[in-house]
A and B are shown apart, each in its own frame.
Chain A
Amino acid sequence: ELKVEQNPLFLSMQEGKNYTIYCNYSTTSDRLYWYRQDPGKSLESLFVLLSNGAVKQEGRLMASLDTKARLSTLHITAAVHDLSATYFCAVDKGRTGNQFYFGTGTSLTVIP
C-alpha cells in the first residue's frame, strides 16, 4: 500500500520566517497535490504538480516535486498569520482516473 508521510506534523513559526514542509511517498507517482484546510472548514486546492522537477508558486507558498526522490516540498516564505492552517499533500496513483493517498497533514501555526 502506498504510504504518504509528512513532516513535521506540527509547526509553530514566527511571522517573517521561512520554513519547509516535506511530503515523502513510498511508490512512484508523477502527480502530487497540495491542499490547505482551515480549522472546521473544507479543503482548498493549492497546487497540482504533474512531473519531475515541477515547481509552482502562489504568493508566499512554493511547491516542488522530485519524483526520483519521491519527495515534494511546500516552502513558506516570510510567513504571515493568515497562513495558519493544516496542509495536506496527496499522491495520485489512479490509472483510469484519480486515486488519492493523503499525507497525515502538517498543522501550521504562525505566531505574530
Chain B
Amino acid sequence: EPEVTQTPSHQVTQMGQEVILRCVPISNHLYFYWYRQILGQKVEFLVSFYNNEISEKSEIFDDQFSVERPDGSNFTLKIRSTKLEDSAMYFCASTIGLTDTQYFGPGTRLTVL
C-alpha cells in the first residue's frame, strides 16, 4: 500500500542552524501539508501546498519557514534559523483531493539545542 515517507526520523541541530525536513508524498496525490506537534501538545497546521505554490499557511509559518517541491516527488520544509521553540515532531501529509482523506508520514523529530 502506498505510504508517505519522511526523512530523517530524528534531526538534532544547534540553534541558528538551517534544517531541511524531507517528505515523499504518495505519488498521485496533489495536495501536501506540513504540521508540527510539540511533545504532549495539540497538532498545529503549518502550510498547505498545491500546484507548486502555497495555498494556505498559519501564523506559525513565518519568514523562517519555506516549502518546496523540487523534483516532483519530494516535498521539503526548510527552517532557516532554528530556535529552541522549533523543537517538535513535524508531520507531512498528502491527499488526492482538497477534502479527501489525508495520509500522514511517520514524522521527523526535530531537536534544537
**CA gap between A97 and B48 in the complex, in Å:** 7
Q: Are A99 and B50 in contact (CB under 8 A)?
A: no
Which residue of the partner chain, among A41, A44, A48, A104, contacts B42 with CB atoms under 8 Å?
A104
Q: Are B43 and A43 in contact (CB under 8 A)?
A: yes
When C-beta atoms are compared, the residue in chain A nearest to B50 turns out to be A97
Verify if A53 is at the interface (C-beta below 8 Å from B): no
Known: A43-B104, A104-B42. A99 touches B58 (CB 8 A): yes
Give the residues in chain A near B100, CB-CB below 8 Å.
48
Give the residues in chain B near A90, CB-CB below 8 Å.
43, 45
Determine how close the nearest CB of chain B comes to the CB of A30; give it in whole angstroms: 10
Verify if B75 is at the interface (C-beta below 8 Å from A): no
**CA gap between A55 and B105 in the complex, in Å:** 27
Verify if B99 is at the interface (C-beta below 8 Å from A): yes
Residues of B participating in the A interface, judged by any CB pair closer than 8 Å: 31, 33, 35, 42-45, 48-50, 55-58, 91, 93, 98-107
Closest A-B pairs by Cβ, 6 of them: A97-B55, A99-B56, A100-B45, A97-B48, A97-B56, A94-B56
5 pairs of residues in contact across A and B, judged by CB atoms under 8 Å? A48-B99, A48-B101, A88-B42, A95-B56, A97-B31
Q: Are A98 and B42 in contact (CB under 8 A)?
A: no
When C-beta atoms are compared, the residue in chain B nearest to A100 turns out to be B45
Which residue of the partner chain, among B43, B44, B48, B101, contacts A98 with CB atoms under 8 Å?
B48
Verify if A25 is at the interface (C-beta below 8 Å from B): no
Give the residues in chain B near A96, CB-CB below 8 Å.
55-56
Which residue of the partner chain, among A97, A100, A101, A104, contacts B98 with CB atoms under 8 Å?
A97
